[in-house]
Homo-oligomer: A and B are copies of this chain.
Amino acid sequence: MGLFPENRKIDFLAQGRAGLDLYASEENTDFNDVLSFKKFVGGSPGNITAMMATLGRKTGLITKVSDDLIGKYVISYFDSIGSDTSQIIKDSSGSRTSLAITEMKPDNCGVIIYRNKASDQQLAPEEISEDYIGQAAGIVISGFALSEAPGRDSAIIAIEYAKRQGTTVILDLDYRPYSWRSDYEASIYMGIAAEKADILIGNDEEFAVLNKIMYPETVNDGKAAVKPWLDRGCSLVIYKQGGGKGALAIEKDGTEHEGRLYKVVLKKPFGAGDAFLGTTLHYLMKDGDVANAIDKGAAAASIVISRKSCSAASPTEKEINDFISTYK
C-alpha cells in the first residue's frame, strides 16, 4: 500500500513520554492492602516502542527523562530490547520521569499519575534532530505530547521535519483530559498535528475533541467524525470504535476494513491501545495488508490486556499467531 518509504535505517521512531510503571503485585486487591508493586517501563510511546521492538522492528525513542536512577532505568530498558536510545535526553532541571502507580484489577482499576513538571514535556524544539527523523520510515507522535510546552513545540517541529524528510507521520491522538487547559486547546493542537498526519488513530472521545474546531458537526458521529481527515491529507485513519466493536480502518480511497475484537479475561483495563498500534504498524510495514494488520493488532491488544504488565507483556509474532489460531 506504499504507506512507508523504503530503505530507512530505522523502522519506527516514537516521540513522547516513556516512564516508570509500578503495578500492584496482588491482583484484585485494593490499594491500601497492596504490599508491593512490580517495576516496568511504561508510558504510551514507550509501550508502543516495546511492542514494535518485540516484533523485530528497528526502533528509537525521542524523549526526555530525569537524570536519576529512574531515567537511567528507562534508558537501560530500551537498550536491553535493542531500541535506539541516542535521543533520550537526561534532564537535571528538577523535572521527574513520568510515573504511574496502579492497582491490578480488571475494572475500576485505580491509577495515580505523577506528572507535575514531567521530564518528557521539557523536551525543547532545539533538541530535535531532523537528520535522526530522516533515518526513520515512520514516526509515531503521541497527541499527549502536544499538551504542554515546550514538549508541544517539539512534537510540532518533529512533524515538520518528518514531512520534509518523507518520514511517515503516525498520530496517536492519545487524549487525556487532565493534561490540557481546556478541550479548545486540545482541539487546536491535535488539529495542527492531525493535518500533517499520514496515519491517524483515535477513539470516539478523541475524535470528538479533535473535531471540536475542525468539524464540529461530526462530533460523536462515528464514521462521519473520522472520514473528513482522509480529505485533509491522511492516507489511513483507524477509528477504535469501542462499545464491543473492533477497530475500523478506512483508506484514502474509502475502502473500509471492519476489525474484530478478541474477548479475553482482563487482568487490567489498560495496555490494549499501545499493543494494538505497535502491532498494526508492524504488519502494515510488512505487507500493507490493512485488514490483516488490524486483526493482528486486535489480537496483541487482547493478549496484553490479559497479562499483568504492558511493555514487558508485548507478544511475539508467534504468540499472536498462536492466540488467533486457538481463539474460540
- State the A residues within 8 Å of B (CB): 20, 22, 25, 31-32, 34-39, 66, 68-70, 72-73, 76, 94-96, 99, 101, 103, 110, 112, 114, 116-117, 124-126, 149-150, 153, 156-157, 160, 181-182, 184-185, 188-189, 191-192, 213-214
Residues of chain B within 8 A (CB-CB) of A66 are: 112
Task: Please state if A184 and B116 are interface contacts (CB–CB under 8 Å).
Answer: no
Closest CB of chain B to A273's CB: distance in Å? 23
In whole angstroms, what is the CA distance A81 to B73 when docked?
Answer: 35
Task: Please state if B124 and A184 are interface contacts (CB–CB under 8 Å).
Answer: yes
Task: Please state if B185 and A150 are interface contacts (CB–CB under 8 Å).
Answer: yes
Task: Please state if B112 and A68 are interface contacts (CB–CB under 8 Å).
Answer: yes
Closest CB of chain B to A135's CB: distance in Å? 19
Task: Please state if A192 and B156 are interface contacts (CB–CB under 8 Å).
Answer: yes
Residues of chain B within 8 A (CB-CB) of A72 are: 31-32
Q: Is the interface of A mostly helix, strand, loop or mixed?
A: mixed
In whole angstroms, what is the CA distance A184 to B154 when docked?
Answer: 10
Residues of chain B within 8 A (CB-CB) of A185 are: 125, 149-150, 153
In whole angstroms, what is the CA distance A125 to B180 when docked?
Answer: 13
Residues of chain B within 8 A (CB-CB) of A126 are: 182, 184
Closest CB of chain B to A171's CB: distance in Å? 15
Task: Please state if A188 and B156 are interface contacts (CB–CB under 8 Å).
Answer: yes
Task: Please state if B70 and A112 are interface contacts (CB–CB under 8 Å).
Answer: yes
Given contacts A22-B37, A37-B39, A153-B188, 16 further A-B contacts (CB under 8 A): A20-B101, A31-B69, A31-B72, A34-B39, A36-B39, A66-B112, A69-B110, A70-B112, A96-B112, A99-B99, A99-B114, A114-B114, A117-B117, A125-B184, A150-B185, A160-B213
Residue of A22, A39, A70, A94 contacting most chain B CB atoms (<10 Å): A39
B35, B99, B116, B124: the one contacting A38 at CB < 8 Å is: B35
Q: List 28 A-B contacts (CB under 8 A).
A: A22-B37, A31-B70, A32-B72, A36-B36, A37-B37, A37-B39, A68-B112, A69-B103, A99-B114, A114-B114, A116-B116, A116-B117, A117-B117, A124-B184, A126-B182, A126-B184, A149-B181, A149-B185, A153-B185, A153-B189, A156-B188, A156-B192, A157-B184, A160-B188, A160-B191, A160-B213, A160-B214, A192-B192
